[in-house]
Structure 1
């Protein structure tokens, strides 16, 4: 009905010499492409602009041979919506817009050359000779499908080109603390409720939490290794990474808090609350890892040495903690809370057994006073790490079930 109304409204233009002269100039491909791109950019709807083009063609004002270049330009013009949407977003979002633009520019270039050098437009016209609107629709479909097929193998190269066009800023390099996935959402100073806001942000938050998990796992691994070797060589590295974990905890928590103030969907609020608690538990894991690594200062100062039995126990603690952290690395539906609970129970059992072993060593004089205190503190950190990992798994599993 809408197409018929537009077509009827365009009928009088057939008698306008000025309009006919304007449309005739579209035989120049460049002018047609520019006109299509500009018109679509103004109304921000390729479907609407193509519909208007079909209405024009249906009223007899323009034929496929002229309309085809306007059509190609409309594919470029529709990118303006993505360009506007990318304002204020992450650089990867802007790069996605660049790829969108490249896709349509390359497709337009290819099809313009093909239509100039071959009777391709006439072929498409012959498919539905009595229906010019269908001819435009067919050409539009062929354009997008063919361009997709042609460029699909070059997706990686398009991504590289987009990165070249829009490189990383100096402050976004990996050696500078930053939020890699979260970007500010304009939610402040607005009275209205942003329904579904947390649903938009949740993937970014989970990706940042995944970074925290990986850093925490690296610190736990390095800390047990440092104590086993009795060297402070890894202490500075662990401290720097812990500082990064603290930064992420602070920034992610602030971001979640802002969203929860505006979010009114109970389910999304529940999920965001779980992510908030996960963030805090990961930060605590990082704290315990630093505690363990800092024991190396006492080991060097007091010249503490561990027996082979203790070194073996430290290696077991390291192994099971890294395994447990690997289980929560998905921060998603794939978390198996029962498996994590089983590992945490094993950590508790190991802690109890290692304490008994320590008492046995003390009774036979195999453990120095400083060594006993240090090892007892390390067992406490070991047990706490297991508790916090279980908390992460339970929070995520509970949020998913909700």
Structure 2
């Protein structure tokens, strides 16, 4: 082996490295630019499978990997945020969305006549511009755009390196013999596609490498078809690995992905074998990069159209393959001790951390869910106090347990999210979500304090006067409204909701002071029993503190709005 062969080998290895790194960089930039939009897209899902397919295709086009999309789906199913009916549609759409990378790669085959239109012509310039933007820009959004530009440039530069390193050897017999063997043996072609994609963890990347070989005219049609079919099956490996240690339902989601792709490979593999047997000239034809893109897209769209009516059958078959098992998931031991804890823990599936923007949006949504629980606790505490209802007291204790669990799991999850590759804007949001968790938990604690006072009222048969009850109810209404608006503001960033909280909090402070003074006057006049008065004043104090915590929450949201 002379120095030229070694040099070509190094050049090919460097080309693959640049191509893979460029694709990863481009996808990371797109994910950060998309922000929480991917999570919101998934939020639009209903039982409408067609909509789920569209959403799956769009998300995969953004993150450039059907495997990554399916990992997200497994995480959402495991967390109970998505049903299997929704998941099967997203999985079908993911296979369509992944074809976008093949089309990006095939842009490089425009020929010397249109060199000025060839993306590889601009690749060095794109890398330079993108690097300049990343180094000198201070805005996260602009830096993300720079990453996307650098990624695209590196992707095409890597393709150029791979292509140029192979070009001198395209006439070598080894290439024609290798693809002749692969083309004549469908199982071998599919196996190669599976192995390469499993190693690279990306069907988009393996298709790109196949297209690079096709650019040099060494890939036969039959070999390309079989390898592409195997690449689709290989893309399932990431999701299968990810499903280890998940719930039975999440395992079924991963199982549906591989069933769908195997069914497509069997269908097209059989048709291809018959067709190539009848038309051997077509089988031996040297396929182009563009033709691979056409087949890749046609294959995935056709598979989706054919399998669409049988989606429910896929769900059923996955249930037969993945059977119920008492110790099937990591939460089994936890569920035996505390079913509520196991249910909440699933909301924070570690697979969601694979997509930082989705993880941030998930954390935000879970904080809102925690806030709504605390809001329910305020209402239950009010009813327990007003009606001396022990059932409502017990309900407050039950919700408080859930809120404490949310605090524990959300805090752990946010620590992990904060260490991910997220923007400064998202770091600020995560920091403020930490503060929101503390305030929400304290509100629930105050509700529990009031429930304890309600329990004391029940045990000592304390009844407030009609006047005192009316005054207390007036304050209750304001506090409930105040915290309700705070949770709304945390979810939407609404400036109107923020202003409502600030206004109501002032009203609560004034009313609490007024009611306290009136009650002290009644105590001084002997119109109220002292033991009753102590309970009344303690309830006032806890209510006023609740509105203070609502105010803290919106103060953080104002900081975020100012930073935008």
TM-score, normalised with respect to structure 1: 0.76
Question: Greater shift after overlay, 209-218 or 199-208?
Answer: 199-208
Matched, 1:306 2:467: no
Question: Which ranges of structure 1 fall in alignment gaps of 5 or more residues?
Answer: 188-195
Give the length in aligned residue pairs.
Answer: 385
Q: What is the aligned counterpart of 1:104 among 249, 253, 261?
A: 261
Question: Aligned with 1:392: secondary structure?
Answer: helix
Matched, 1:71 2:239: no
Matched, 1:175 2:375: no
The CA distance in 1 between the partners of 2:234 and 2:433, in whole Å, is 40
Residue 339 of structure 1 and its aligned partner are, at CA, apart by 2.0
Question: Greater shift after overlay, 164-173 or 371-380?
Answer: 164-173
Which structure 2 residues correspond to residues 31-180 of structure 1 after superposition, within 5 A? Answer: 31-54=188-211, 62-83=219-240, 100-112=257-269, 115=272, 132-148=288-304, 165=322, 169-170=331-332, 171=334, 174-176=339-341, 178-180=344-346
Residue 220 of structure 1 and its aligned partner are, at CA, apart by 1.0
1:277 alignment partner in structure 2: 435
Question: Greater shift after overlay, 62-71 or 287-296?
Answer: 62-71
1:190 alignment partner in structure 2: none
2:391 alignment partner in structure 1: 233
Q: What is the aligned counterpart of 1:207 among 365, 368, 372?
A: 365
Q: Summarize deviations over 1:123-179 as a string: whole Å, max 9, x none.
A: xx8xxx986332222001222344456667888987898799497643358523653
Residue 364 of structure 1 and its aligned partner are, at CA, apart by 6.4
Residue 33 of structure 1 and its aligned partner are, at CA, apart by 2.3
Matched, 1:25 2:181: no
Q: What is the aligned counterpart of 2:380 among 215, 222, 226?
A: 222
Higher helix share: 2
Q: Summarize deviations over 1:14-40 as a string: whole Å, max 9, x none.
A: 6765x35522433x4x44323321232
The CA distance in 2 between the partners of 1:305 and 1:109, in whole Å, is 76
Question: Greater shift after overlay, 335-344 or 311-320?
Answer: 311-320
Matched, 1:346 2:507: yes
Question: Aligned with 1:397: secondary structure?
Answer: helix
1:11 alignment partner in structure 2: 171
The CA distance in 2 between the partners of 1:394 and 1:213, in whole Å, is 16
The CA distance in 2 between the partners of 1:285 and 1:57, in whole Å, is 64
The CA distance in 2 between the partners of 1:174 and 1:47, in whole Å, is 40
Matched, 1:383 2:544: yes
2:479 alignment partner in structure 1: 321
Contact 2:182 2:188 in 1 (8 A): no
Residue 62 of structure 1 and its aligned partner are, at CA, apart by 4.8
The CA distance in 1 between the partners of 2:195 and 2:261, in whole Å, is 14
Contact 2:176 2:218 in 1 (8 A): no
RMSD: 4.3
Question: Aligned with 1:209: secondary structure?
Answer: helix
Contact 1:23 1:66 in 2 (8 A): yes
Residue 83 of structure 1 and its aligned partner are, at CA, apart by 4.9
Contact 1:197 1:259 in 2 (8 A): no
Residue 327 of structure 1 and its aligned partner are, at CA, apart by 2.5
Q: Summarize deviations over 1:335-388 as a string: whole Å, max 9, x none.
A: 432122122223224324433553565466543222222111111111110110
1:373 alignment partner in structure 2: 534
The CA distance in 1 between the partners of 2:290 and 2:201, in whole Å, is 22
The CA distance in 2 between the partners of 1:175 and 1:378, in whole Å, is 29
Contact 1:86 1:94 in 2 (8 A): yes
Residue 64 of structure 1 and its aligned partner are, at CA, apart by 2.1
Question: Greater shift after overlay, 130-139 or 48-57?
Answer: 48-57
- CA gap 1:351/1:151 in 2 versus in 1, 3 angstroms: farther
The CA distance in 2 between the partners of 1:361 and 1:162, in whole Å, is 70
The CA distance in 2 between the partners of 1:313 and 1:116, in whole Å, is 83
Question: Aligned with 1:271: secondary structure?
Answer: helix
2:15 alignment partner in structure 1: none
Residue 269 of structure 1 and its aligned partner are, at CA, apart by 4.7
Question: Aligned with 2:345: secondary structure?
Answer: coil
1:334 alignment partner in structure 2: 493
TM-score, normalised with respect to structure 2: 0.56
